[in-house]
Each structure stands twice: as structure tokens, then as C-alpha cells.
Amino acid sequence: MGVGMRSLMLLALAALMGLPLSARAERVKDLAAVRGVRANQLVGYGIVVGLNGSGDSDKTTFTIQSVVAMLARNNVRVPAAGLKLKNVAAVMVTADLPAFARAGNRIDVTVSSIGDAKSLVGGTLIVAPLKGHDGNIYAVAQGPLTVGGYSIGEGGQGEVKNHPTVARVPDGALVEREVPVQLAGQSAVTLQLREADFTTAARMAKVINMNLGGKYAKAVDSGTISVDVPPPYQDKMVEFLALVERLEVTPDSRARVVVNERTGTIIIGQDVRIAPVAVAHGNITVSIKKVQEAVPAAPLTPGETVVQENTEVQVVEEKQNLIQLQGANLADVVEGLNRLGTSPRDLITILQAIKQAGALRADVEVM
């Protein structure tokens, strides 16, 4: 039994044990976010020093220009012509500024090479200002890099593990400017579902109203719930949002089958159904091989034995009987597919054909 078939059997076992994927209650904080309370992306340019000969080559001119400019700011004047730096690499620095981050807080940054450096192992990021989309500097990054890989040697004699030209600096950026988020005094807040669904939105509004004891929440659309803040909580927004985000809601989702043809992985959702359909799937194997055959010369004639190459083609078709599939739940679907005895890659083709025939009650998403 293949890995994909075992995965299908595990899904069926979960369904039979009463552990459906979409029937478990989730907290509001895991299903939705408060509009306006979000992270902001930061980006900056910097240089990494201290590399062991694995930095940018002299062909990367902007690295040399950056080093000359950095030295000039420290009152060191050097000509750019003829300057060769193997221990320096130009990088882009990216980070997410969380909501309510205050000046003095530290955040993680990702450092990515933009030149032809071979590795960032052992390097140190020099002060790199991080800007938002408005052009203002919100954080400054600096520190030693953490690389989850390495690159040793060159050409056919080299060895590379993971991705050595991307690194992290844990707590490497210091927040200098805050993004204001005003919550106090608001008369209403808006919850945005991370995955829009009409049923989930209606259930969330109902749960909030039941716990607040009135009609305070309203589902505006499939992804938005508007919640009026009760007067006693308008000056206590933190307590109110803490109360709301702890409430539990049972989410709903569309019936979905996700297939990855590159790896042969199949994921079948809990709500997938298959209408009655008959399926026969047989493999056709074509074998082509070349056979060398010695052809002697004709009797009583001057000639030599010649080696002739012939091609043999053999076609074998696997015989399969028709199997009826009818799935009322996930366990029935998996049991029916397992009866076909096919590989995961064949199952991908079968599911797509069943969907084309109109018998699969689910969306098929191909990755």
C-alpha cells in the first residue's frame, strides 16, 4: 500500500472515530482578525561583512559602491577602482512589524543575498534601516546571521546544503517608530474571517449575540462580521475583544479535494461526496527494447556475418472490472477508492475524471 493510500485510510479512520475535520469548534481568534489590527511589511538594503571568501565578486559593482559609501561615513576614503571584496555581500532585509509594536521592541528579520555571493554563513549584518511603504524608517536591523545551510567547494567538487544565501537574524531589528492603532472609544469593531464562508459568518454572529445577550453582531457578508460594542465596554476595548476572541464557533467549509501531481499527494476534505458512478481503470504498459541479432552471409557467397539491430515493441493492458463508487461520507469515499487498488497518481486521474463526469461533489484543486 502506497503512502497516498495510507493517507486516505487515515482520513477514513478519523471520520469513523468521530473526528471530522470541519466539525470541531474553533476560537474566534483563530478564525477571524480585527480589521485594522495587522502587521506591516518593512524592507531595507544592507551589507553583510565577515564572510569567509564567499561574498560578492568584483563583478557586483553595487556592493563595492556600498562599501565605499559606508567607509566614507566613517571618515575613511578609499577609491572604488580596483577594490576587491570577497568577504562582503549586498543583501535585502525584510521584516514584519507587528501591530502594537512599540519603540524599543525587537523583531526578527530575514536577510537575502542580491549579488553573486555563494554563502552568508558566518556573516554579520551592518546597520540597515527598514522602511515602510510610506518611505519612513520604522526599524533598524543589525546583528550576526543564522544560516540553516552551507556551501563548500566549487563546481563538481562542491557541496551545498539547504539554501545558504538566505539567513535570519533573531530579534535583529530594533523598532524606532510606532504604527498608531486606535481602539479605545470605538462604538463598533469589524471581524474579518481568514477564510470567507457564509455559514461560518452567520454562526459567528449568532454565537457572539448569544454570549453578549443581545443583537450586537451582524454578518455583513461572507467574510465580515460587524460587532457593536456594548456601552460598558467602549472604554474597555481590550477586555471586550478578549471576551469575543475566546468564543468558540464551528466553522464550515466547501467540499474540496486538493491534489499535488508533482508529489502524488491527495487530500480529501470531510464534506466530499461521490454520486453513484461506475469506474474501471486499467494501466497500459508499452515496452520497447532493442535486440541485436547476428545475420550470417548467404551460403556459397563471399560475405561476412552482420550484426543487425531489431526493435521489439510489446503492449500489455491491465484488465480491470467495473467498480461502483457511491460515497455518502468520507469513509465511504476512501473505501471505494481503495477498492480500485490504484496508485496515488492514478487516483488523481480518476478523481479528475469523476469530477468531469459530474459525480464528484467537491472542488478539485491542482497544486
List pLDDT tens digits, range 206-242: 999 999 999 999 999 999 999 999 988 888 889 999 9
Sign of CA pseudo-dihedral 357, 360, 363, 364: negative
Kind plus residue range of the DSSP H or E element containing 95: strand 89-97
- pLDDT at residue number 16: 37
What distance in Å separates the CA atoms of residue 209 and residue 152, rounded to the nearest whole number?
A: 62
- pLDDT at residue number 160: 62
Class of domain 26-37+182-249: alpha beta
Give the residue range(s) of CATH 3.30.1360 domains in the chain: 26-37+182-249
Weakly modelled stretches of the chain, pLDDT under 70: 1-23, 149-162, 281-291, 294-295, 297-334, 336-337, 340-342
- pLDDT at residue number 354: 77
- pLDDT at residue number 18: 39
- Judge contact between 39 and 96, C-beta under 8 A: yes
- pLDDT at residue number 228: 94
Burial class (CB in 10 A: 0-12, 13-18, 19+), 300: exposed
Show the CA angle centred on residue 332, arms to residues 329 and 335, nearest 5°. Answer: 150
Compute CA 198 distance to the chain's CA centroid, rounded to the nearest angstrom.
25
Say which residue the cell 468520507 belongs to. Answer: 330
pLDDT in tens, 271-318: 787 777 777 766 555 555 666 776 676 665 666 666 666 666 565 555
- pLDDT at residue number 22: 45
